Chains A and B, each alone.
Chain A
Amino acid sequence: MAELKFVNRPKPLLAVTDSLLMIKRSSTHITRKMDELLGTFFQPIMFLVLFAAVFGGAIGGTLPHGVSYLNFLMAGIIVQTVAFGSTTTALAVAGDLQQGIIDRFRSLPMSNLAVLNGHVISDVFRNAISTIVMIITGFVIGFRTDASFLDWLAIAGLLLLFTIAFSWVAAIMGVLAKSIEGVQWLTFIIIFPLTFASSAFVPAESMVDGLRTFAENQPITHFVEAVRALMIGAPIGNHGWIAVAWGIGTLVVAMPIAAWLFKRKTTQ
């Protein structure tokens, strides 16, 4: 038998290696699941084209400053796709917990959090692909923008923060759910109202009073408005800072909760 050689590094660095391995694992999963590949590439295209075609006529004329509906929609549909995409993290976490593999990981001298890190970060990759696909499709069907390189960097940064924050929330749902169906239900009742009661698809001003107050102040609207302002060259107002605050705040709260729940669930 070959002589075994072990990596000799301080523990925090080993934890980083563990997370990288888990990211590789979760990312490989995406490439081996046909439905996820379809979801990553075709679902965003379908949503973008459908929404633009169905709502474009009705809403297009009512938008201020002569903004085209497609230009208005772009930011909303990207944020919506990312939000729904986080379901994948929840499903992956729940799937791991229901299979023996979690016992394997826990019996190894590896970092506990690496499993969650792997799913969350691979979700970022998948969302990045979806977003790029959507932006290219947008350009093909008539999306136009004056955004500078710096604007695009800011857009990428905001979306990255949103994806990571939302995926950690999804990780919590994945740990809490008792079954795969439970995950789908949980994410549905949280993500669906949050994305539709926002300014993702229609301006919040057009909504009835109570709903409007909610829509104008909830985090998804701030992300959508910030990304939209950067895309169409409108004033960003307070949306940028509020969105960043929401994103960081969510991360600070959701990460430890997810980690704690995960640990508790796996030691019972």
Chain B
Amino acid sequence: MPQSKYAIEAKGLRKSYGKNEVLKGISLKVERGTMLALLGPNGAGKTTTVRILSTLLGFDKGSVTVENYDVVKDADSVRGVIGLTGQSAAVDELLTGRENLEMMGRLYHLTKASAKERAQELLEDFDLVDAANRPAKTYSGGMRRRLDLAVSLIATPPVIFLDEPTTGLDPRSRIAMWTIIENLKKNGTTILLTTQYLEEADQLADRIVVIDGGKVIAEGTAKDLKSKVGKDRLELTFEGAKDYKKALEVVDGKTLDQSSEDLAITMTINDINKDVSKVLADLASAKIRVSSMAVHKPTLDDVFLSLTGKVKKKEEQ
């Protein structure tokens, strides 16, 4: 069989639960050694897709290969080359971190010595040495996720699925997780990550596939998508009505939105480094007092508004 340059290939995936069609023809490809982010809101079909790609779930139509193995005909071979980190940390609560790692390693059919050695290595890499001999139920959320990810890396599979690896984590744990994922990528692992956060997809992934309602609605690099979504916005609030009115004159028609009640002005900015300081300088030289300012990045909401706006409206009618 010729070795495809894609580690993961899904074509026309369809899956229904009764009359409820959750996947309506999803196709995606992940080049070997790259990271793809599957971005979408709750209920978009992200987890269903990952479960199908990782052999956990059957499907009605379409085809999937992982490292050239068919997930249906050759599920065991697929399981030998993948690691999965699901939404709910899939570790054994009553076993210690080390016991979890060693057991899973041996279930990947590593030798006893190899599983032991690798477990120690991962405990060190994931900053879990101190907690290694405590049952996993005593771990914090962040530690549990790290253990969960470590477990899926025990046999260093070439393909890793990460289903919302940072949902529910505090910011510090999230950044720690991102560092780990980035290191995985550096080692040449092919990664498929699902997330609800645009920022996360942007930070980590080479390519992004946006899905909603069981369909792919956009794909490309983070840059491609952002250009579709729109620009950064600057939101200014003023101390008094006088300042607000004067400010309107200063920015002169460049506002996106204005509210005399809230004394607030919103405007789009093209370049965060130049435009913000220019606006502030203009306001300062006119002796206008700003009470607060904020820069808003395009959010996932914005992505969906611009990408799925029409679809949503149709559903509402």
List chain A positions with a Cβ less than 8 A from chain B. Answer: 1-2, 4-7, 9, 14, 17-18, 21, 24-25, 28-29, 32-33, 99-110, 266-268
Contact = CB atoms under 8 A, between A and B. Distances in A.
Contacts of B93: 99
A32 B107 contact: no
B79 A108 contact: yes
A106 B113 contact: no
Interface of B: 51, 54-58, 76-77, 79-80, 82-84, 86-95, 99, 103-104, 106-111, 113-114, 117-118, 121, 135, 151-152, 155-156
B109 A1 contact: no
A105 B90 CA distance: 9
Given A7-B110, A103-B51, 6 more contacts: A2-B114, A21-B106, A108-B104, A109-B79, A109-B109, A110-B109
A18 B86 contact: no
B78 to A, nearest CB: 9
A100 B89 contact: yes
Nearest to A7: B109
Contact of A28 (B76, B88, B99): B99
Given A2-B114, A4-B114, A7-B109, A101 B91 contact: yes
A239 to B, nearest CB: 40
B90 to A, nearest CB: 4
B121 A1 contact: yes
B54 A267 contact: no
Return the 6 tightest CB-CB contacts between A and B, nearest first: A100-B88, A104-B90, A100-B90, A109-B79, A107-B84, A5-B114
A2 B117 contact: yes
Contact of B107 (A9, A102, A105, A268): A105
A147 B195 CA distance: 66
A2 B121 contact: yes
B118 A100 contact: no
Contacts of A7: 109-111
B107 A29 contact: no
A108 B108 contact: yes
B58 A267 contact: yes
22 contacts: A2-B114, A2-B118, A4-B118, A4-B156, A5-B114, A7-B110, A7-B111, A28-B94, A32-B135, A99-B93, A103-B86, A104-B91, A104-B152, A106-B56, A108-B104, A108-B108, A109-B76, A109-B79, A109-B107, A109-B109, A110-B79, A110-B109
B86 A100 contact: yes
Nearest to B161: A107
Contacts of B108: 6, 108-110
Given A107-B82, A109-B79, A6 B56 contact: no
A258 B104 CA distance: 24
Contacts of B114: 2, 4-6
B54 to A, nearest CB: 5
A25 B101 CA distance: 12
Contact of B90 (A5, A17, A99, A266): A99
Nearest to A110: B107
B110 A5 contact: yes
Given A100-B88, A103-B90, A268 B106 contact: no
Contacts of A9: 109
